[in-house]
Amino acid sequence: MQNQLVLTAAVEREDALRYTPAGLPVLEMWLRHQSRQREAGFERDVSCEVQALLIGEAARKFSGSLAGKMVTVSGFLSQRSLRNPRLVLHIEHVEFVKG
């Protein structure tokens, strides 16, 4: 099953680093994406806010350095929880881009 999203966005804000009970670092952040895309043959403005999650060593590495930066991230989508169907992007790769 395909589930892959690549997105270039500004990190609007990031939470303080937290840890799972097993001790893995977790970084939660909100991404603001703005671009122009084609739809039905027309150019249009696109904008969205995406909640994203970075777990593991990368979370510790990037913690505190992402807010306000432009990044290209890739990862998969999952719903927030059993009861909350809002989508969350689970980031696997982060790359800084000149914005």
Partner 1 sequence: MAEEYAVQVAVDVPLFGTFSYLTHLPLRAGQRVRVPFGPRRVCGFITNDIPTEGIETGRLKRVEELFDELPPLPATLLAMVRFAADYYHHPIGQTLFTALPGALRTDRAVRLEDERLWQLTGAGLAEEPPARQKARRALWQALQDGPLTNAAARGVSAQAGRILADWLQEGRAERVAPEALPLRVAPAPSLNDEQQRALEALSETRDDFAPYVLHGITGSGKTEVYLRLIERVLAAGRQVLLLVPEINLTPQLIERFTGRFPATRVVMLHSHLADGERLKGWVDAWQGRAGIVIGTRLAVFTPLPRLGLIVVDEEHDGSFKQQDGLRYHARDLAVWRARQERVPIVLGSATPSLETMANVAAGRYRRLTLSRRAHDAARLPTIRLVDTRRIKLVEGLAEPVIAALKARVARGEMSLVFINRRGFAPVVACTDCGWLSGCPRCSAKLVVHLAERKMRCHHCGWEEAVPPVCPDCGNVDLKPLGQGTQRLEAALARLLPEARLLRIDRDTTRHKAAWDEVYRKVHAGEVDVLVGTQMLAKGHDFGALSLVTVLNADGGLYSADYRAAERLFAQLMQVAGRAGRAEAPGEVLVQTQWPEHPLYQALLRHDFDGYAQTLLEERRMAGFPPAVYQALLRADAYEIATATAFLTALRAEAEPHADGVLVSGPAPALMVRLANRERAQLVFESGSRAALHALLERLVSLAERMAKAHGRALRWSLDVDPQEM
- Chain contacts with partner 1 (rule: CB under 8 A): 20-24, 26, 53, 55-56, 78-79, 81-82
- Cβ proximity to partner 1: between 55 and 70 the closer is 55
Instruction: Tell the smallest beta-carbon distance from residue 13 to partner 1 (Å).
Output: 19
On whether the CB atoms of residues 26 and 54 are closer than 8 A, the answer is yes
Neighbours of 35 (CB within 10 A): 12
- Cβ proximity to partner 1: between 44 and 80 the closer is 80
Beta strands (DSSP E) in the chain are: 5-14, 18-19, 25-39, 42-55, 70-79, 87-96
- Cβ proximity to partner 1: between 20 and 37 the closer is 20
